Amino acid sequence: MAGRIEIIAEIGENHLGNWAMAARLIELAAQAGADYCKFQSYRGGDVALGDPERDWFHQVELSDDAHRSLLDHCRRHGVQFLSSPFTCERADLLLSLGLTTIKVASSELTNLKLLRHLNGKAKRVFLSVGLATEEEIGTALEALSCSEVSLLHCVSLYPTPPNKINLRSITYLRERFGCPVGLSDHTIGCHAAIAACALGAQVIEKHVTLSRDLPGTDHVLSLDPGELNRMVSEIRDLEVMLGTACKPLSEEERAMIPLMRGRFHHGAPEG
Tens digit of pLDDT for each residue in 166-201?
999 999 999 999 999 999 999 999 999 999 999 999
Q: Which CATH superfamily is domain 6-246 in?
A: Aldolase class I (3.20.20.70)
Predicted local confidence at residue 62, as pLDDT: 96
Q: Is residue 2 pLDDT above 70, yes or no?
A: no
Q: Is residue 213 pLDDT above 70, yes or no?
A: yes
Q: Is residue 269 pLDDT above 70, yes or no?
A: no
Predicted local confidence at residue 268, as pLDDT: 58
- Please give the average per-residue pLDDT across 210-223, as a whole number: 88
Predicted local confidence at residue 233, as pLDDT: 98
pLDDT, tens digit, for every residue of 229-243? Answer: 999 999 999 999 999
Predicted local confidence at residue 266, as pLDDT: 65
Give this prediction's pTM: 0.94
Name the phi and psi angles at 241, rounded to 5. Answer: -60, -35
Q: Is residue 263 pLDDT above 90, yes or no?
A: no
Q: Is residue 31 pLDDT above 70, yes or no?
A: yes
pLDDT-based confidence at residue 271 (cuts at 50, 70, 90): low
- Please give the average per-residue pLDDT across 65-92, as a whole number: 98
- Please give the average per-residue pLDDT across 259-268, as a whole number: 78
Q: For the chain, give the mean pLDDT.
A: 95
- Please give the average per-residue pLDDT across 2-17, as a whole number: 91
Q: Is residue 1 pLDDT above 60, yes or no?
A: no
Predicted local confidence at residue 3, as pLDDT: 80
Predicted local confidence at residue 267, as pLDDT: 59
Predicted local confidence at residue 147, as pLDDT: 98
Output 259 or 3, whichever has higher pLDDT: 259
> What ranges do the domains of the chain cover?
6-246
pLDDT, tens digit, for every residue of 79-137? Answer: 999 999 999 999 999 999 999 999 999 999 999 999 999 999 999 999 999 999 999 99
Predicted local confidence at residue 24, as pLDDT: 97
